[in-house]
């Protein structure tokens, strides 16, 4: 598993995905140098929230970032196993638009197998 240090200087083996079209390949290439730093920043904001976690919308608001970029980094971090969310419908929080959103937490806050999850205040 990677750490914050792996990403903070843009040093990451991560290659942004593309859908094989010329425009998608160009977009992936254009963010390659900054994607590591952006992943580190998103991870730091999620870690800072502890068990409360953060929704993608909350990270977007904190970073004043674009939805497409921030949600892509949240997806990348989730896929890399560095953050997690549950499938529990009760484990959601409203976004700025009022819709319920998944709450992401750093993997170090994930309950161990066989141990009950901690109740998160405000996630009702």
Q: What is the per-residue pLDDT across 17-41, written as a single tens digit (0 to 9) for each?
A: 677 898 878 877 777 778 889 999 9
Range of the domain at 103: 4-14+28-109
Q: Which residues contact 119 (CB under 8 A, 6 or more apart)?
A: none
| pLDDT confidence bin for 47, thresholds 50/70/90 | very high
Asked if 92 and 78 count as a contact pair (C-beta separation under 8 A), the reply is no
69 occurs within a structural domain = yes
Q: Is the pLDDT of residue 120 over 80?
A: no
Q: What is the dihedral of CA 37, 30, 23, 83, to 10 degrees?
A: -10
Q: What is the per-residue pLDDT across 63-110, written as a single tens digit (0 to 9) for each?
A: 999 999 999 999 999 999 999 999 999 999 999 999 999 999 999 999
Predicted local confidence at residue 19, as pLDDT: 79
| pLDDT confidence bin for 114, thresholds 50/70/90 | low
Q: Tell me how long the chain is.
A: 124
> Domains in the chain: how many in total?
1
114: left (phi over 0), alpha (psi -120 to 50) or beta: left
103 occurs within a structural domain = yes
Q: Print burial letters for 64-78: b (CB count within 10 Å at least 16), e (below 16).
A: ebeeebbbbbbebbe
36 occurs within a structural domain = yes
């Amino acid at each position: 598993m990677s750490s914050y240090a792996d990403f903070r200087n843009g040093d990451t083996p991560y290659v942004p995905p593309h859908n094989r079209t010329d425009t998608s390949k160009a977009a992936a290439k254009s963010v390659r140098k900054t994607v590591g730093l952006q992943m580190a920043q998103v991870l730091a904001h999620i870690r800072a929230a502890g068990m409360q976690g953060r929704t993608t919308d909350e990270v977007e608001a904190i970073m004043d970032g674009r939805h497409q970029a921030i949600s892509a980094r949240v997806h990348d971090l989730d896929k890399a196993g560095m953050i997690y969310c549950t499938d529990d419908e009760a484990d959601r929080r409203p976004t700025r638009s009022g819709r319920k959103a998944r709450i992401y937490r750093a993997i170090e806050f994930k309950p161990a197998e066989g141990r009950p999850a901690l109740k998160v205040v405000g996630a009702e």
